[in-house]
């Protein structure tokens, strides 16, 4: 499965500011994709059900799963770093 980036995720998320959550960042990168659950699950190394829960904002990923996402999705990694540098945590 290949991720087809629209290039808009950076613009969508960067407006999130300090009130943004990890799930907002995940949604900005995956929610608009046709195979969003499978791609997110693959990139994070989790089940499709767990990916669904993140997209539905039922729960948030553990730090080790965020690292997997960052390792497997360079655009996500760039936005995660920018979000952390804003002092989001």
Distance CA 12, CA 10 (A): 6
Nearest to 13 by CA among 26, 34, 28, 27: 28
Rounded to two decimals, the pTM is 0.78
pLDDT tens, residue by residue, 21-35: 899 999 999 999 999
Q: What is the pLDDT of residue 16?
A: 54
Q: What is the pLDDT of residue 51?
A: 97
What mean pLDDT, rounded, does the chain reach? 83
Which domains, from first to last, does the chain contain? 18-85 (1.10.260)
pLDDT tens, residue by residue, 52-84: 999 999 999 999 999 999 999 999 999 999 988
The DSSP output letter for 48 is H
Distance CA 46, CA 32 (A): 19
């Amino acid at each position: 499965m290949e991720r087809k980036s629209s290039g808009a995720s950076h613009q969508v998320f960067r407006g999130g500011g300090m009130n943004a959550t990890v799930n907002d960042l995940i949604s900005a990168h995956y929610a608009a994709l046709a195979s969003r659950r499978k791609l997110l699950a693959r990139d994070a190394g989790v089940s499709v059900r767990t990916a669904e829960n993140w997209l539905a904002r039922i729960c948030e990923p553990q730090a080790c799963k965020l690292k997997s996402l960052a390792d497997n999705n360079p655009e996500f990694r760039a936005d995660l770093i920018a979000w952390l540098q804003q002092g989001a945590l």
